[in-house]
Structure 1
Amino acid sequence: MRFIFRPPAEHAAGLLSLPWQEPLEEWDDDQLLEVAHRGISRHVVRFVEADGHVYALKEIDERLARREYRLLGSLEAMGMPAVSVLGVCVERPPAPGDDSPQDAILVTRFLDYSMSYRYVFSHGHAARPTDQLIDAMVELLVRLHLAGLFWGDCSLSNTLFRPDAGSIAAYLVDAETAELHPSLTAGQRSFDIEYAAERVGGELFDLQAGGLLPDDVDPVEIAAELPRRYHALWDELTREELLQPDEQRYRVAARVDRINELGFDVDEIELKTTDEGVRLRVRTQVAETGRHRNQLFALTGLEVTENQARRLLNDLRSYRGYLEQKEGRSIPETVAGHRWRAEVYDKVMARIPESLADRMEPAEVFHEILEHRWFLSERAGKDVGTTAAAKSYIDAILPNTPSTLTLPGGDLLPR
């Protein structure tokens, strides 16, 4: 057998004792886990814990495994929303009673707090699950297409979803059929869109048959809506505009602001003078946006998603204003960041009992507490404060929130 693993090497070392020579379906090891909210796969998929981390192992044709290993590595290097690949085991010996070599095993990192689309619907993890899942799928597909990735098998089943500051973020989890190109043709994008609409419609019909789809949701209508939303977002991010000389400055700024509001960053702006006027062309950054995330990390050391970072930065700035008013002096942003982390965020997180630590990731819980604070303040006619809001939320709401990090029987997944 041959093992090919990406750094950090110590993560791979913890997996080497597994029975790689045996068919994955027959593994019986103390390290194996059963994940409650896994999706549907046409391959044998098992989950394993090693050195405090959880990994997904997928048995697949060796040629496809090697290809997917390289592709997922490239996507990770580009900062794309996809699962992180650790390695691949190839050239496995034949199983007992068989002359042919066994398929390879691809190893990816389990995406903490992620859910399959079935779990989102069956456990009420979103107020408008259909709309939020479709929006997340559209944004993921647009981001992949901007990067030159032809997916070839876009569906809800091949996507993982994770709560993200009141919305849902989507991550590519299966790249067997994907191809990476310098750029995609309109035909390649059209195939992905039409295929995605067809698969999503079928998956929603499946949910409907299982009684998991809300009565007012029409699978055909939602499937038809996916291409419309895709084209609207793609046009907003890639279209050229014709500007007059006296409107260049504010029109360019407005276009950049609009792209930022949609969750994307601008990589390059091109202005070309023509006889008709000035043509504006904007190149959108293909990787996940990171301005707010990087800023929050620099100020507080917290690693969160972009939407969560935006929400937490707003609270940090509000707290900075409160400190300046209370102490009658200017507070540097770096000092305010450290104090907000120690005096607000960490104190709130310390209130969460271990028995509720599996509900949502910490930054998402803090976002929910901020939303709860606004609700309580509106009802009381005054600001109730983060401490009171946290106590109310943790006592009354968090215990009723379904878990996104548990195994059957309620055991926590290692983190």
Structure 2
Amino acid sequence: MAGEVSLYTPEDEAFRKEVRAFIAANIPQDVARRNQRGYHPTRDDVVLWTRALHARGWSAPNWPVEYGGPGWSIRQRHIFEEESFRMGAPEISPQGHTLVGPVIYAFASQAMKDRFLPKIRSGEHLWAQGFSEPNAGSDLASLRTRAVRDGDHYVVNGQKIWTSEAHSADWLFLLVRTNTEVKPQAGISFLLVDLKTPGITVRPILTIDEAHTLNEVFLEDVRVPAENLVGEENAGWTYAKHLLGAERSFSANVPRCKVGLERLRAIAGAARLRGRPLIEDPGFAARVAQLEIEFLAHETTVWRVLVEEESGMTSAVPTSSILKVRGGELLQQVEQLMVEALGDDAVPVYPEADYMGEMPNDAPGPDFAPGVVSEFMYRRAITIYGGSNEIQRNIIADMLLRA
């Protein structure tokens, strides 16, 4: 973006070149094109990329070195994320690498760490998150899925919903109620469940963009070995809060917003208004500039928070909720402006089932149109999943007003 001051050193830029060369050598062009359009990566895409990263020692960029992380600085992590988005690398499975992996290495036994962490890093196990239920979404403490101890197993019954990638995952990390005699948060446990276990039914939920990424998961007398309990029984709420903080910080969406702004400028440069590039229209250019300013403020806040966390500083400010709210809203605004820039070319949706790296033979419109509307429609949910923005604002107000 014009006038942007670089936060990166010459060594950082050398690392950026290394990342770009690695991505170019390891991502097939059809995979890159599909992901650059904003379509969901396939399981094969994710496994291919994770294995390539694992061979290089880069598959767990946010993990400590002792658990297989590469030991990158904050700048290096940001460079890797930016270039991965920009060049169309599939997103490393967030359910495994960003969410359950850190819970396992922070709270689980050594035996569980040894069993699960290597297979997350290598891509052998892909994961799904079993938290939300039909009547327990943002109010997660009201979940009803039960797990009753029976000898060396827990018997699990209940239903989860909006379960991303459960249809293609190998394992499910699950919040279950193990004690009904205490306050809701105190009776929850954290289980790891093999999705091949008898009694599990996965049903698809097709979203407005005609994609299948979400699912309902039904659990009927599912027997889970007690050794798959993370940490202590009835301490799952503590582990869930640790995970949700990471999920909401991840939802700051800095790389996705930055690449989206670049794509917006490219589309507005190609689109025409009264015979001239749309980006030259003063009104539209002002809207783009305003979004860029707001994004730079958001990115600076993310940098500040990450530096404080890395230095061990603590804060009473609910930063993960703030970043989640602002990042989601900015991303929606960027994608809405992309749709507006397309004009009539936004009418065809180009479902991702029809787009596998090449324009369909009978596709109308310009080459840059596929994926824009699909991504715009899918991301309408970004202010809901991971804890709705309304709930996040309540958390922010409660913490700040009580301070």
Shorter-chain TM-score above 0.5: no
The higher radius of gyration belongs to: 1
Q: TM-score, normalised by structure 2?
A: 0.26
